[in-house]
């Protein structure tokens, strides 16, 4: 696992970024090993292993369906499909972002002793979460079959949604993992932020446009990038054959690319001092 990575300490940021990107490309095999390692550790000594990828969102879906369906008299047809299609996407976002944020600090000893692209650590956490997400989508497919829920041509946009979310989480994960090395409060603040962010995103409740919500709360929800993404998943799976909002989808894709590039550049710049701080 000990590989030679050229020092970027005396290079310009642009040159260091290009070199770091090249190093990542040269160590894709190592990235794959890290992803497999994370998946094995996550379900080690677990009786049902990867089945937790299905059981956990299924139980959450049942709880949220009970609360919003029975207590608040939510009358939308096939409401579990609405909840699960948004919940699976959110779970990938939140769990992967948490794991990526802690990745460098949790492997501080490895960073100090072994020369390898440190960006592989947060990226491996995101990719292992993405594998779990793809597995859990089979549960949504079974649920839709059970309800005989229609699908449309908008389902062809699913790969676009998946890849744009992957880029979004990867960019944020790289950024936060680098910041967390120097400011350990980041990991604690992130837990609070994700809780607030979850309730500011229409994952388990209809969007403001459906319930007629107006004012500051509606504005906050509508300008939330995760609202654009989750809305796309809802359109593809629940409101089929509806198509996602093209302006929102385009804005999310653009934001994801900016975050991915920006996160990698910031990570590269800050990684020069990881050995001292990690």
Read out DSSP for 190-232? HHHHHHHHHHTSTTSS--HHHHT--SHHHHHHHT-HHHHHHHH
Residue 278 is predicted with a pLDDT of 61
pTM above 0.85, yes or no: yes
Percent share of the chain, pLDDT over 90? 59
Read out DSSP for 16-54? HHHHHHHHHHHTHHHHHHHHHHHHHHHTTT-SSGGGHHH
CA-to-CA distance for 211 and 205, rounded, in angstroms?
A: 9
**Sign of the C-alpha dihedral computed for residues 162, 163, 169 and 170 taken in this order:** positive
Residue 49 is predicted with a pLDDT of 62
Residue 78 is predicted with a pLDDT of 84
Q: List the structure tokens of 31.
A: 């990235």
Only one residue has tokens 């592989």, namely 120
CA-to-CA distance for 217 and 202, rounded, in angstroms?
A: 12
CA atoms within 13 A on the CB side of 56: 18
- Chain segment 107-141, per-residue pLDDT in tens: 888 887 778 899 999 999 999 999 999 999 999 99
pLDDT band at 72 (very low <50, low <70, confident <90, very high): low
Residue 186 and residue 176 in contact, taking contact as beta carbons nearer than 8 Å: yes
Question: Looking at the predicted structure, is the pLDDT value of residue 196 above 90?
Answer: yes
The CA-atom distances, in angstroms, between 243 and each of 158, 233, 234, 247 are 11, 10, 10, 12
Residue 114 is predicted with a pLDDT of 76
- Select from 124, 129, 120 the least CA-distant residue to 274: 120
Residue 111 and residue 2 in contact, taking contact as beta carbons nearer than 8 Å: no
Domain ranges of the chain: 26-277
CB neighbours of 53 closer than 8 A, spacing ≥ 6?
A: 132, 135, 136
Only one residue has tokens 């979310």, namely 165
- Select from 175, 157, 123 the least CA-distant residue to 249: 157
pLDDT band at 274 (very low <50, low <70, confident <90, very high): confident
Residue 71, Cα to own-chain centre: how many angstroms?
30
Q: List the structure tokens of 250.
A: 């385009």
**SS3 assignment, position 52:** helix
Q: What are phi and psi of 231, to 5 degrees?
A: -60, -35
Residue 16 is predicted with a pLDDT of 82
CA-to-CA distance for 142 and 64, rounded, in angstroms?
A: 19
pLDDT band at 212 (very low <50, low <70, confident <90, very high): low
Residue 175 and residue 268 in contact, taking contact as beta carbons nearer than 8 Å: no
- Chain segment 17-39, per-residue pLDDT in tens: 888 889 888 989 999 999 999 88
- Chain segment 73-93, per-residue pLDDT in tens: 556 678 899 999 999 999 999
CA-to-CA distance for 33 and 124, rounded, in angstroms?
A: 9
Residue 2 is predicted with a pLDDT of 42
Question: Looking at the predicted structure, is the pLDDT value of residue 4 above 60?
Answer: no
Residue 70 is predicted with a pLDDT of 65
Residue 48 is predicted with a pLDDT of 61
CA-to-CA distance for 5 and 223, rounded, in angstroms?
A: 41
């Amino acid at each position: 696992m000990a590989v030679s990575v050229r020092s970027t300490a005396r290079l310009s940021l642009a040159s260091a970024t290009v070199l770091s990107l090249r190093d990542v490309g040269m160590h894709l095999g190592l990235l794959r090993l890290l992803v497999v390692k994370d998946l094995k550790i996550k379900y080690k000594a677990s009786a049902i292993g990867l089945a937790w990828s299905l059981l956990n969102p299924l139980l959450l879906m049942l709880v949220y369906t009970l609360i919003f369906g029975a207590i608040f008299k939510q009358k939308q047809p096939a409401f579990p499909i609405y909840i699960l299609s948004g919940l699976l996407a959110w779970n990938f976002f939140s769990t992967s972002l948490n794991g990526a944020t802690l990745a460098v600090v949790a492997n501080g000893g490895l960073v100090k002793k072994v020369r390898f692209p440190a960006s592989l650590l947060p990226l491996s956490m995101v990719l292992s979460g993405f594998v779990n997400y793809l597995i859990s989508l089979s549960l949504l497919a079974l649920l839709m079959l059970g309800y005989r829920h229609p699908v449309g041509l908008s389902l062809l946009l699913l790969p676009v949604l998946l890849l744009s979310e992957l880029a979004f989480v990867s960019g944020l994960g790289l950024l936060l993992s680098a910041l967390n090395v120097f400011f350990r409060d980041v990991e604690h603040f992130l837990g609070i932020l994700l809780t607030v962010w979850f309730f500011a995103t229409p994952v388990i409740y209809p969007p403001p446009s459906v319930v007629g919500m107006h004012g500051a709360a509606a504005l906050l929800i509508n300008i939330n990038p995760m609202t654009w993404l989750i809305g796309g998943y809802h359109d593809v799976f629940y409101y089929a054959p509806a198509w996602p909002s093209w302006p929102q989808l385009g804005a999310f894709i653009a934001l994801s690319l900016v975050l991915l590039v920006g996160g990698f550049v910031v990570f590269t710049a800050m990684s020069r001092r990881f050995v001292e701080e990690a």
